[in-house]
Amino acid sequence: MGASFRRMNVSASPDAQGSPLGKPAACRDTYSPDLLFPIARRGKRSEIGIRGDVLPFIGVDSWNAYELSWLDARGKPVVALGRFRVPASSPNLIESKSLKLYLNAFNQYRIPDTGTISAILARDLSAAAGAAVEVTIVPLAARPERRFAYPDGFCLDTLEIGIDAYRPRPGYLRAEGAATSETLYSHLLKSNCPVTGQPDWGMLAVRYTGPAIDRAGLLRYIVSFRQHNEFHEQCVERIFCDILARCKPSALAVWARYTRRGGIDINPFRATPGADDGGWDAGSGEIRQ
């Protein structure tokens, strides 16, 4: 396979300031695991009241990589869809541009089969995340499909309300009245990259059991992230913790399906243990049909 594979000496940054985000970066065409840039989760989690390793949720970050290619043993290109599952319990998230640069470094690299590249990716991503990352690689010749079904619930975007706040306002959240179980969702989630300021667009869904959440307040709260600077995973954890604290559901699941940027989409899922996932497939970041 050419060069031997190197192990990384991983030291997670507490933030993204040292990452390749917002900086010119030449594409490499040699295997380069050192391109991966881990960011410690603990800093942002401390802002929302999470201390140590005791998490108020379980969950996973489901990544889909659409620009994955390498050369087979004879030099013929292979193109594939890559799916990565990063556990929410991992100490680090991986900055997405660094992942893109890392994946692009395989473009001119000879690898004999899909199993080999899967093992390489699993090892390197797990080292960066600090926990086991599940990797699935499906060549496009096998015709992999993604499903983009809508949640089976109520779309908040139909509500006729006025909105004038575009920074997170957890005070909008309230729940009262008889207990219910329902799924509420919105396509109006937008936040910004904390380094470049570029927009991240997503669909957010909330599945809960407990006192009925005020729908107008929830929609205002979702829209209030519109000028907020935070990574996808951090936004979803902030939303989960705010709803849990202010609406006090007995069961809660929050997930986001973000649109792809740079050939990668990131789909975080967080839930109380045993919560109904509302049809969300955390393995692929899709709605089950």
The CB-based long-range contact list for 43-48 (8 Å cut-off, 24+ gap) reads 43/14, 43/15, 44/230, 44/231, 44/234, 44/237, 44/238, 45/237, 47/238, 48/237, 48/238, 48/241, 48/242
Beta strands in 97-234, from DSSP E residues, in sequence order:
134-139, 154-155, 175-192, 199-213
Q: Which of 27, 113, 164, 200 is catalytic?
A: 200
**CA nearest 61: which of 168, 225, 202, 251?**
202
* Parallel, antiparallel or unpaired: strands 154-155 and 175-192: parallel
State the architecture of 154-287 in CATH terms. 2-Layer Sandwich (3.30)
- Identical fold between 33-142 and 154-287: yes
Per-residue pLDDT tens digits of the chain, which is 289 residues long: 333 334 455 667 776 666 565 555 566 678 999 999 999 999 999 999 999 889 999 999 999 999 999 999 999 999 999 999 999 999 999 999 999 999 999 999 999 999 999 999 999 999 999 999 999 999 999 998 877 788 999 999 999 999 999 999 999 999 988 999 999 999 999 999 998 899 999 999 999 999 999 999 999 999 999 999 999 999 999 999 999 999 999 999 999 999 998 999 999 999 999 988 877 776 566 666 5
Paired strand residues for 190: 201
Question: What pTM does this model have?
Answer: 0.89
Domain residue spans in the chain?
A: 33-142, 154-287
Angle at 225 between CA 221 and CA 228, to 5 degrees: 150
Burial class for 174, CB neighbours closer than 10 Å (0-12, 13-18, 19+): middle
Q: Please state the separation of Cα 66 from the chain's center in Å.
A: 15
Q: What is the CATH number of domain 33-142?
A: 3.30.1130.10
Residue 200 is among the residues annotated as catalytic for this protein: yes
Residue 193 is among the residues annotated as catalytic for this protein: yes
Find out whether 50 and 75 touch, Cβ atoms under 8 Å.
Answer: no
